[in-house]
Chains A and B, each alone.
Chain A
Amino acid sequence: MVERHPWIPAIGAEYVLGMDGLSLLLVLLTSLILPFAVLAQPCGRSFCALTLLLQATLYGTFTAQNFVLWFLFYEVSLFPAFFIIKLWGDANRDVAATKFFIYTFLGSVGMLLGFLAIYFATGTFDFEKLAGLGRNGDLGLALVEHFGSVAVWLVFAGIFVGLAVKVPLVPFHTWLPEAYASAPVGGSMILTGILSKMGVYGFVRLLLPLLPQQVRQIEPWLLALAVCTIVFGAFAAWLQSDLKRMLAYLSLSHLGYCMLGLFAVAAASAGALSDTAAALGGVFIQIFNHGLTAAALFYYAGLLEQRCGHRSLADFGGLMQRTPLLCGWMSVAMFSSLGLPGLNGFIGEFLIFKGAFVLSAISTSIAVIGLLITAVVLMRAMQIVFSGPLSPGCAAFPELTFNERCVVVPVTLLMFWIGIAPQFLFNVFNSTVAQMVRLVG
């Protein structure tokens, strides 16, 4: 499925939209999360307008097949996100919004410069053509020819940092906890559910196919970054006393699994086709699952904050006595994030570990620590919030309303469905995985 129109022929910019399994998956995820985010955030007309603008740019980002067009969508998406944080965020919103904007924007500038260099060297912005050049190494050669051998690495660094800020990878993550914690509920859901996936998507679509040799050369370092993200995120989450910040760090840690799987795939040799496929399939399914689960968790955090007026972990307690239903549904989402078998989180993590283990045993083994700590963090949070004596601040704590149930029930059912019978989700992207694996091999 490709839709192609000439746009600015002078610089090789075309209006090309195309869709493969990965794009489809992300478009599905966007369509799933955004309505819920709007429902979660009763903020009136301007919020809806910004959300719709954001939705349009997200669809654009996930389907554009030409760099200029892609970059346009990618950049424009910053503005609604910025204003959502800035206008509806909590007390810290100014700092958080500015930090978010500046970090991401600076990253984008690096990426833009990198792509300009690529354009001058190859004369095209088209993803498919560039990927073709990248696969047999012509892209790197052309860059060396035009700008010297250091330039390849500068280009790589520019694109890498731009995407790494967006995901984010440790140590480019410092904007994340503030932005996620300060954003309004709907904003956090979109940020963690979909915006973070733009970075992962960028890695799959841009960096790995375009500069595979470079990726392979500094492979151990990339894996180390992913492992650091996983382990650091989990430990940092353990130390948080604010529910939303805790979820933000957990989200960071979970995105680390995606990156671990991706980098392991990028390093794969031709021999391990089935493992590469497993890891890549795991990454895709983790992208979807993380979007679903993390957004659901932020939704619940919003519900708690809305009802109690605060979100410090220590001030909750005994909610199970007041609202067993709310606690029940919320614990499903937390268990899913924890990777409990039978829910959606487990299958993605298992696959990533399974595939990545063959490709890189040591980093995978270290990353398992992250799994361990995540489980502990979430169980501790559950125990603090749900059980124990009822905290005085939560005495008048209403049960789920009808509107809230309309959000909670379908999402929970979907978590169980993916957890128990994930095959339908695999069918969405199986052919794409097979194709990508062939290209890597």
Chain B
Amino acid sequence: MIAYTIYLTFAGAVLVLLVPRAFAKWVALLAALAGCGIAAIAFLQVSDFAQFQTIIRVPWVPSLGIDYHLAADGISLTMALVTGLIGISSVLFSWNIENQQNEFFFWLLLVVGGSYGVFLSADLFLFYFFYELVIVPKYFLIATWGSTNKAYGAMKLALYSFFGGALVLIALLAAYSTGASLDLQELSRFHFSSQFQFWAFPVMFLGFAVLAGIWPLHTWAPTGHVAAPTAASMLLAGIVMKLGAYGAFRVSMNLFPEGFHIWSGAIATLAVIGIVYAAAIALRQRDLKFVIGYSSVSHMGFVLLGLATAQALGVGGAVLQMFSHGIIAGLLFAVVGRMIYDRTHTRDLTVLPGLALNRVIPFAAFTFVLASAAAMGIPGFSGFPAEITILIGTWRAYPALVIIAGVGMALTAAFMLRALKKSFFGEPIPTQCPDYAPISVPEKIGAALLLCVTLVFGLFPNLLLERILPAVETMRWLNR
């Protein structure tokens, strides 16, 4: 049934193009709701999370051994759920899009539908198919509806993404020609020679990690986020960066376990550098969206660190962090891009304090306080269980790195507090306090949805962990 997330979202995308302008956002919302609803039902109903269970498998191009093969385990279901949630809220937060609504929602649904596809693919060709399908709409979302420096941001993002895609393609072709199959399960049982894995793993992993924002190939992320319209930033941080991490995990680590063990130390080091470096940079930014953009890179560093531990808890924590960061980053970008920037038309941290936004738009202040608490990893929000499990896993694998990652967490708290103080709780300059439109209903619903999710899974992380961990424990590259 979960396959219908893909079909309904794509059907919605086509329908959006055909309906009159006024209905575009409603159709998009319906499609996003349907996708999320199906993902949620599947998330609750499926009982066996450990196996990568086939949902549908039909021959597609028989002469080449390409199948249309979808499958899901606990990890796929978790990721499909976050895709659905971000899909809904990004539609809600783009309710005020004015020009070319139909195309905007068309591209938006294409990103969402393609992401469902990536998370559910069990055939490498199909996986790559959806993976590439997601990159293209991002470019148009940013280049057409973006703000600051949009042409540059969109082009940089597209170049980095396609570069990553090219690396993935090279390693994928190498795997295909050596293992003579495109099926993920079959290939993960195939034994590639150590020498082959030694070079194929880093090529493929790096290709995926570009999209996950690994240091030092992360620079597309902040500029892309800043240039993107609100919904595109939410999709980018909430889902697209996760595609990279998911691919790194599902494809490169499963296919080349020996290569992974050789290179895992290097990955962990890069991840930790990313955590600290991005947090330190975020502390020095003047543009509020750059702060959030760098915080995404820092948080994705935790995901990569968790994966690199090769411990059940660390990897499970990484998946949890993918979910949690998707929600929190979506929320932060929604506040910054939609609630603040669309009203004040500035994100400058030297101007914002004078506007006393906490009095003009208190709901935004309330949301941002909770969201930044979640981003800091305060217990009670979903960020906390994710980071703590990652750190426990890291403690077992790389004790020294835990301390450095801890520094990163402290820096995160520092830059979030700084952003919070400057953006909402500055000294008001009376002459500069114009009236802004109150927070609209769609914004409130979207924010409430994401806040509830981060709270629910922060208080009951087991809802996710009991689905993620069994799937993680079947991975053969785990250090037990």
Contact = CB atoms under 8 A, between A and B. Distances in A.
Given A375-B162, A388-B144, A275 B170 contact: no
B143 A321 contact: no
A278 B180 CA distance: 12
Given A341-B129, A358-B177, A380-B155, A372 B166 contact: yes
Interface stretch (A26-34, A67-75, A348-356): A348-356
B159 interface: yes
Interface in B234-275: none
Interface stretch (B130-138, B295-303, B321-329): B130-138
Contacts of B180: 274
Nearest to B144: A387
Interface stretch (B48-56, B58-66, B184-192): B58-66
Contacts of B151: 383
A388 B151 CA distance: 11
A430 B63 contact: yes
Nearest to B165: A372
Nearest to A369: B166
A371 B174 contact: no
B177 A357 contact: yes
Contacts of B198: none
B133 A342 contact: yes
Contacts of A423: 61-63
List the 4 closest A-B pairs by CB distance, nearest first: A341-B129, A387-B144, A357-B173, A358-B177
A351 B162 contact: no
User: Which of B102, B159, B177 has the largest number of chain A CB atoms within 10 A?
Assistant: B177
A275 B100 contact: no
B163 interface: yes
Interface in B134-152: 136, 139-140, 143-144, 151
B155 A376 contact: yes
Interface string B173-185: 1101100100000
Contact of B61 (A365, A376, A422): A422
Given A364-B173, A368-B169, A340 B132 contact: yes
Nearest to B99: A321
Given A341-B129, A353-B173, A364-B173, A387 B162 contact: no
B154 interface: yes
A353 B162 contact: no
A113 interface: no
30 contacts: A274-B180, A275-B177, A281-B63, A328-B17, A335-B136, A340-B132, A341-B129, A341-B133, A342-B133, A347-B61, A354-B64, A357-B170, A358-B177, A361-B174, A364-B170, A368-B166, A371-B169, A372-B159, A372-B163, A372-B165, A372-B166, A375-B136, A375-B162, A376-B159, A379-B143, A387-B140, A387-B144, A423-B61, A423-B62, A426-B61
A320 interface: yes
A435 to B, nearest CB: 15
Contacts of B473: none
Contact of A320 (B103, B155, B177): B103
B215 interface: no
Contacts of A382: 140
Given A278-B64, A387-B144, A354 B176 contact: yes
Interface string A263-302: 0000000000011001001000000000000000000000
Contacts, number: 85
A351 B64 contact: yes
B170 A368 contact: yes
A379 B158 contact: yes
Contacts of B398: none
A28 to B, nearest CB: 19
B139 A383 contact: yes
B144 A383 contact: yes
A431 to B, nearest CB: 12
B63 A383 contact: no
A383 B62 contact: no
Interface in A198-222: none
B162 A376 contact: yes
B290 interface: no
Contacts of A341: 128-130, 132-133
Given A338-B136, A380-B155, A383-B154, 19 more contacts: A278-B64, A324-B102, A328-B17, A340-B136, A341-B128, A346-B129, A351-B64, A353-B173, A354-B64, A354-B177, A357-B177, A358-B177, A364-B170, A368-B169, A368-B170, A372-B159, A376-B155, A387-B100, A388-B144
Interface string A128-155: 0000000000000000000000000000
Nearest to B132: A341
Given A351-B64, A383-B140, A340 B133 contact: yes
B189 to A, nearest CB: 20
- Taking chain A's interface residues, is the majority helix, strand, or loop, or is none over half, making it mixed? helix
B62 A354 contact: no
Contact of B143 (A274, A357, A369, A387): A387
B136 A342 contact: no
A273 B422 CA distance: 66
Contacts of A275: 177
B381 interface: no
Contacts of A372: 159, 162-163, 165-166
B339 to A, nearest CB: 26
Contacts of B129: 341-342, 346
A376 B163 CA distance: 11
B294 interface: no
Contacts of A426: 61, 63
A345 to B, nearest CB: 12
Interface in B103-144: 103, 125, 128-130, 132-133, 136, 139-140, 143-144
Contacts of A422: 61
Nearest to A338: B136
A84 to B, nearest CB: 35
Contacts of B143: 379, 383, 387
User: Which of B61, B125, B130, B155 has the largest number of chain A CB atoms within 10 A?
Assistant: B61
Nearest to B65: A274
Interface string B338-366: 00000000000000000000000000000
Contacts of B136: 335, 338, 340, 375, 379
A281 B61 CA distance: 13
Interface in A310-347: 320-321, 324, 328, 335, 338, 340-342, 346-347
Nearest to A423: B61
A375 B158 contact: yes
Nearest to A368: B166
A430 B162 CA distance: 32
Contacts of B140: 379, 382-383, 387
A298 to B, nearest CB: 22
A371 B165 CA distance: 10
B169 A353 contact: yes
Contacts of A281: 63
Nearest to A433: B63
B324 to A, nearest CB: 30
Nearest to B114: A341
Contacts of B62: 423
Contacts of B103: 320, 324
B204 to A, nearest CB: 13
B190 to A, nearest CB: 16
B133 A320 contact: no
User: Which of A281, A321, A342, A365 has the largest number of chain B CB atoms within 10 A?
Assistant: A365
Interface in B25-76: 61-64
Given A357-B173, A368-B170, A320 B100 contact: yes
